[in-house]
Amino acid sequence: MKNPYDIIVRPHITEKAVSLSYGDPRIKDEEDLVRKYTFEVATSANKIEIKQAIESIYNEGKKKDQAISVESVRTIKVLGKKRRRGRSVGYEPNRKKAVITLAKGQMLEDYGV
């Protein structure tokens, strides 16, 4: 079994990712908000491993009623861009992003925002 910290590389924090983590601004009730969080993950990880890794990392030391549950996982493969260093041409490494959707009313406290 893979270590969850090897599967989840880091949170992917951009303006769009932060706005997704706040939920839909038209919904006023906190219990009905559906929040989405974006992470960079290992390129070999699948959706099931990503879901289990997120739940195990964020549910460490929590009670069952406070535990988070991941509703869905969407993955995006990002190809590395071409970079030049003088005459030589190289590529950035490929990476993989995952968009995690939590159950209604749940949020991650230490996401990095």
CB atoms within 10 A of CB 57: 16
- Mean pLDDT (whole number) for 10-27: 89
Q: How far is CA 71 from CA 2, 14, 25, 68, 93, in A?
A: 21, 22, 20, 10, 29
**Domains defined for the chain, CATH in brackets:** 4-102 (3.30.70.330)
**Residue 113 clears pLDDT 60, i.e. is over it:** no
- Report the distance separating Cα 87 and Cα 68, nearest Å: 50
Q: Are the CB atoms for 108 and 67 separated by under 8 Å? A: no
| All residues at 6 or more sequence positions from 44 whose CB lies less than 8 Å from its CB, including other chains | none
Higher pLDDT, 54 or 66: 54
Residue 11's SS3 state is strand
- Give the pLDDT score at 62: 78
Write the pLDDT tens digit of every residue in 56-72: 998 887 787 788 999 99
